[in-house]
Amino acid sequence: MDYFQGKTVWLTGASSGIGLAMAQQLAAAGAQLILTARRAEVLEQVRQQLAQPQHHRVLALDLSQPEQAAAQAQEALGDTQIDILINNAGVSQRSLILDTDLAVYRQLMEIDYFAVVALTKLVLPGMVQRGSGHIVTVSSVAGKVGTKLRSGYNGAKFGVLGFMDSLRAETAHAGLTVTSILPGFINTQVAHNSLTGDGSPLGQADPDNAGGISAEECARRSLQAIAKRKDEVVVGSGLSKLAPFLQRFLPGLVRRMVANR
């Protein structure tokens, strides 16, 4: 993928799952990576295993505190030119509305929505000034179709797609590209790390995600869409890939299917 050759790519959620697979493929494509997740030691292990590790750097941030994370990033990055920002970090949920603490909703919004806004606003002025740049957010099919047990996750992912649509409209004549990636069921640890009603991790697999495509395949398709500078792309297979299409044209059918799952 020549598009990434020599570009500086800031990738969040880089230590596992889709983000780790993206990091590996981006490094192989010649990108210079800024790797972000919470744990610096894990990111350093990732960096050392990438192609040309000397070209990449680690920037550990806690994205559950977006303002603090953005301030730390601004200090660490200085005048570094970010060619592509990939907002990939995120956390999911597995709990009923009746059983979910308000604090859990806030945490989901901080990581899945406000962190995207904060980091985007950090890199946006430089991109607009240069007249070039690419901002990517990995949202979810859950940003198009609301389902049981994911009310906070759905809300954050719906919200971030609206933010990205506004960003695309506002920068349409500024030379920027804005891409939203909507994964369906992907075979990662996302269910294990999902928040339950009291904020503790679920700690077990989800049959839907376990039956999805691999993180490596999701990363490959996502990076192809980014390289083609697409506005929005759904990545997945089976019902999770069809869900946004069905939601648009057969919403009543989708509502019945979701209620009966």
Catalytic residues: 153
β-pair type (8-12, 84-87): parallel
DSSP3 helix / strand / coil % (the chain, rounded to 5): 55, 15, 30
Residue 31, SS3? coil
8 Å CB contact between 138 and 183: yes
Q: Which of 214, 213, 194, 196 has the alpha carbon at shortest distance from 205?
A: 194
Which helix (DSSP H) or strand (DSSP E) does residue 187 occupy?
Answer: strand 186-187
Neighbouring residues of 175: CB distance < 8 A, sequence distance ≥ 6:
130, 131, 132, 133
